[in-house]
Amino acid sequence: MSADPRRAVPRTDTLLADPAVAAACARLGRELVKDAVRAAQQRVRDGRLAPDGAVAAVLAALPTTAGSLRPVLNATGVVVHTNLGRAPLSPAAVEAVVAASGTTDVELDLRTGRRGPRGEAALAALLAAVPAAEAAIVVNNCAAALALVATALGGELVIARGELVEIGDGFRIPELLEATGARLREVGTTNRVALEDYTRALGPDTGAVLKVHPSNFVVRGFTRAVPVAELSGALAGTGVPLVADVGSGLLRPHSALPEEPDLQTTLADGADLVLASGDKLLGGPQAGLVLGRADLVQRLRRHPLYRALRVDKTTLAALEATLRGPLPPVQEMLAADVEGLRSRAAALAARLVAAGVDARAVDSAARVGGGGAPEHPLPSAAVSLPEPLAGPLRLGGSPVVGYVADGRTLLDLRSVPPACDGDLAAAVLEVARRWT
């Protein structure tokens, strides 16, 4: 009679007592490690794993962190990729988040021991970056900022029909605004709106005039829009605030994005409030930025909805570090020199070819992404690989997301930090060895 195979299965307490497994329990949590232990035991029970390999199998199955999100190399050429978490934080911002993760003085004045203003330093950094603003608040995203404005200002919102846009994943500006209880007064047509359309729509119930930058599309041909400067002049003396949602979070004009609206210019042109995202062209954490007239900002701050929408200490820490620290990765990617990108692509391709991989350095066209500058491609360079590698690269030990064009997998380097070129090469080589 053969021995019962269950006798060869290592005991749970024995595996958990192994020093390396015990250390993993302390780092990842006991239940997560026990799941890996049970899986290893089942493999031993089925005869697919030798009993003395159980500890190694447990350790190999464990994730790097207790969370399920995995680091991904963004080789899509889309600088601000929503599906990949938009802006990667700078090292300075990451350090600030770690420092803020424990107990902090986020709302305490250490000098007096009394309650202090929340996020005062982050707001000061934001105002220093956009001097045309008198005051600012931060909520959890730009849609939240828009919802807060619509709720707090109340009444009827005057908006051009061509600016009733969809902002992604089926979310539409008019539906968002109407969900707050606001009433929309649509003016103009899909492609054309005149100053008189706005002024004729003003009445005693007007809460604000709202301009929304249609950031993820462009209408060309027989079109007309009213600039902020012209509209603000017409609203002067009416008491009706002009609110501009510029979307992408560009603080000041940028030479690489000449047609993208920015917060400083929009306020200088007469907008009373500007709204923007913190995790797009600003390059910081997810946040909704509201800047402008002090009385209007205070009105938003004192509204009960603000309490539900305000950000936490780690977001404030990351935002301040992004504003005060070195250039964040998004800004570095935008500023990358195309010749430097070509040199990197050539070096990577040569390294891969030497290892037997079909790789070529090619020119490519990157994108801003995140709803910014949809018709403004950024000249770039990529490593071209066989098309069948696209899927395995996404599923590799170090996931790489590129894109397929003309029967080849392209890894665009504008969205890959130079410091990650070695990691990119290693990930490709790992997948190529298995694929071949």
Give 261-280 pLDDT, tens digit per residue. Answer: 999 999 999 999 999 999 99
Q: How does pLDDT run across 185-208, given as a tens digit for each residue? A: 999 998 999 999 999 999 999 999
Pairing outcome for strands 206-212 and 242-247:
parallel
Query: Residue 260's pLDDT is what?
Result: 87
The pLDDT tens digits for 126-136 are: 999 999 999 99
Tell me what the mean pLDDT of segment 148-171 comes to.
Answer: 89
Looking at residue 165, what is its pLDDT? Answer: 84
State which amino acid sits at residue 337.
D
Query: What confidence tier does 72 reach under pLDDT thresholds 50, 70, 90?
Result: very high
Q: Look at the domain 90-326 and name its fold.
A: Aspartate Aminotransferase; domain 2 (3.40.640)
Which amino acid appears at position 406 of this protein?
D
The string of pLDDT tens digits covering residues 279-295 is 999 999 999 999 999 99
CA distance 200 to 100: 50
Q: What are phi and psi of 317, to 5 degrees?
A: -65, -45
Share of the chain above pLDDT 90, in %: 82
Closest CA relative to residue 188, chosen from 179, 197, 201, 176: 197
| pLDDT of 246 | 92
Predicted local confidence at residue 1, as pLDDT: 42
Confidence of residue 377 (pLDDT cuts 50, 70, 90): confident
pLDDT at 123 over 60: yes
d(CA 201, CA 199): 5
Give 256's pLDDT tier (boundaries 50, 70, 90).
confident
How far apart, in whole angstroms, are the C-alpha atoms of residue 34 and residue 15? 9
pLDDT value, residue 3: 57
Domains 73-83+331-435 and 90-326 share a fold: no
Burial class (CB in 10 A: 0-12, 13-18, 19+), 16: middle
Residues listed for the chain: 436
**374 or 294, greater pLDDT:** 294
Lowest pLDDT segment from 42-51, 167-176, 220-229, 413-422: 167-176
Question: What number does CATH give the domain 73-83+331-435?
Answer: 3.90.1150.180
Whole-structure pTM value: 0.90
Report percent pLDDT > 70 for the chain.
96
Please report, for the chain, the start and end positions of each structural domain, with discontinuous segments joined by +. Answer: 5-61, 73-83+331-435, 90-326
pLDDT digits (tens, 9 = 90+) for 322-355: 999 999 999 999 999 999 999 999 999 999 999 9
